[in-house]
Structure 1
Amino acid sequence: MKKIILSAIMLMGLTFAAEAQHIAKNALGLRLGDNDGFGVEISYQRGLSQKNRLELDLGWRNSNEIDAFKLAGLYQWVWNIDGGFNWYAGVGGGLGSWRDNNYDDNGTFVFAAGDIGIEYSFQDAPILLSLDYRPEFGSNGYNEDNYNGDIALGVRFKF
């Protein structure tokens, strides 16, 4: 009985290991989010292996009260769901500057960030679509409670 269970576990492990997963070596595009006002980020992803990548985002946020520029870097782990569908999670951080439109105040900040999302990589076209959530914990006037959550749609060109 132990041999059958062990064999079944090994067979399942080989099945998951043999599943084809293709992350683009490079992807460049836009990440459109709502982090306390509309924002857009120029987003670059660099595949480090078939299961890991680095994402760098340079963005601008605009709301009625505060405008901000941010540079974020995240290390991501990617898991295949089926075919071109993947889900991913990551950690990282960044820095930026902000300006308060009501009180003539400004400053710089650093932040730590997480990332979790789902993506679809088209097989017949060099397009990658993603939807993710990024919680950010910042310092020095980043937000009233030093926390912001960002839901964003990403559209990237794979090369």
Structure 2
Amino acid sequence: MKNIFLTTALIVGTAFATQAQDISKNALGLRLGDNDGFGGEISYQRGLGDNNRLELDLGFRNNDDYDAFKLVGLYQWVWNIEGGFNWYAGVGGGIGSYSADRGPGFNDEDGTFLLAAGDIGIEYNFDIPLQLALDFRPEIYFGDEFRDDDFGPDLALSIRYRF
């Protein structure tokens, strides 16, 4: 029984290790979603190995009654589907700050918050140095009353220049 389990684990491990990966050393672009008013984020990816990378996203918001920023870091594992298509999953966290001026008769609020995040998505790397991705990043918030329910689902489309 041990030999069957060991042989199966070895075959599965070899299959995952031999898949060709197309992870760029660097990628820079925009992540466009709509979580908590952070409609757009500047996104940077740094390849760490053949099938993992680090992603940093800086989102900011500035309007009449709400100013905020959020920095999120994610460690991602990447698996090749076929050709330039990859899917990925990751975990991470972040920090943010907000200031809300809700107008006359309302209490102004400001504070900082921490967050824990997961990430799952699909991407396509073109033959030119361009990457398109669609991902889902649920976030759980800790600290000040940034959100009433302390949970923020985030669906976003990304476009990045790979170099």
Structure 1 length as normaliser, TM-score?
0.85
Unaligned runs of 5+ in 1: 1-5
Greater shift, 65-74 or 125-134, is seen at 65-74
State the alpha-carbon separation in 1 of the partners of residues 151 and 63 from structure 2: 16
1:3 maps to what in 2? none
Unaligned runs of 5+ in 2: 1-5
In structure 2, do the counterparts of structure 1 residues 135 and 66 end up closer, same or farther at CA, with 3 Å as the change threshold?
Answer: farther
State the alpha-carbon separation in 2 of the partners of residues 154 and 90 from structure 1: 16
1:142 maps to what in 2? 146
Give 1:118 deviation, angstroms. 0.5
Kindly indicate whether the alpha-carbon contact (under 8 Å) linking 1:38 and 1:63 is maintained by their aligned counterparts in 2.
Answer: no
In structure 2, do the counterparts of structure 1 residues 11 and 111 end up closer, same or farther at CA, with 3 Å as the change threshold?
Answer: closer
Across the aligned residues of Structure 1 and Structure 2, the Cα RMSD in angstroms comes to: 2.6
Kindly indicate whether the alpha-carbon contact (under 8 Å) linking 2:38 and 2:59 is maintained by their aligned counterparts in 1.
Answer: no
2:113 maps to what in 1? 109
1:132 maps to what in 2? 135
Identity value in percent: 63
Matches within 5 A, 1:44-83: 44-61=44-61, 66-83=66-83
In structure 2, do the counterparts of structure 1 residues 71 and 41 end up closer, same or farther at CA, with 3 Å as the change threshold?
Answer: same
State the alpha-carbon separation in 2 of the partners of residues 116 and 15 from structure 1: 21
Give 1:141 deviation, angstroms. 1.3
Kindly indicate whether the alpha-carbon contact (under 8 Å) linking 1:36 and 1:63 is maintained by their aligned counterparts in 2.
Answer: no
Aligned letter for 2:87?
W
Give 1:21 deviation, angstroms. 1.2
Kindly indicate whether the alpha-carbon contact (under 8 Å) linking 1:89 and 1:116 is maintained by their aligned counterparts in 2.
Answer: yes
Structure 2 length as normaliser, TM-score?
0.83
Find runs of 4+ consecutive structure 1 residues off by over 3 angstroms. 6-17, 61-67
Alpha-carbon displacement from aligned partner over 1:87-143 (angstroms, at most 9, x marks no partner): 001000010111223132111111111111000001x21001000011111131121
Aligned letter for 2:91?
V
Aligned letter for 1:117?
G
Kindly indicate whether the alpha-carbon contact (under 8 Å) linking 2:99 and 2:111 is maintained by their aligned counterparts in 1.
Answer: yes
1:92 maps to what in 2? 92
